[in-house]
Structure 1
Amino acid sequence: MSMTITNYTGDIPEIYVDSIRMAVGLFDFAFELGLQQISSPPGAGPPRIKTLAIVRMSPQHAYVLSKLLQKNVQAYETNVGPIALPADVLKGLGIS
């Protein structure tokens, strides 16, 4: 299967995110991408997140995206080294 990729000349924003929330419905997946804001003093509650984009896709597209992400993360770790994350972070996400 071959694809043609078109280079768009319009203003397509490039953004950095450090936060993602997901919602899953019967017919779609939604990814709310955001950036953590500078928070109040420690203990003042959870950090505020500024939503920068919401991306929606079909379950089939989300499945393919997950496989492509997995493949590319594995290639990254092969070339650069393991990505270290604290065990409590993984456990908190339910993916340990």
Structure 2
Amino acid sequence: MAENKIRKLYAQNEVQQVFTNLQSSSSGLSDEEAAKRLKKYGTNTIKKAAAESEWKTFFKNFSSMMAILLWISGLIAIVSGTLELGIAI
């Protein structure tokens, strides 16, 4: 849901209007309504993203644009005869 739409629905409204929009009340949901919503929407949990292997993460550090530019400039320095500079880069 877009942030502006959320603000219009909740942040800028009176409390009673928010309860009406959410079909709730100040005392919360009834057990029956909570069970219905749990069945309809599922549990309120954050799904963990699949972990990326450590090797893949390690090699991704060497393939960014900045890293590639450094690799190229180091190679140019070595080819031009300044080995120390090429190694330092």
Common fold by TM > 0.5? no
TM range (shorter): under 0.3
Q: Structure with the greater relative contact order (CA < 8 A, sep ≥ 6): 1 or 2?
A: 1
Higher strand fraction (1 or 2): 1
Higher helix fraction (1 or 2): 2
Specify the structure having the higher radius of gyration (Cα). Answer: 2
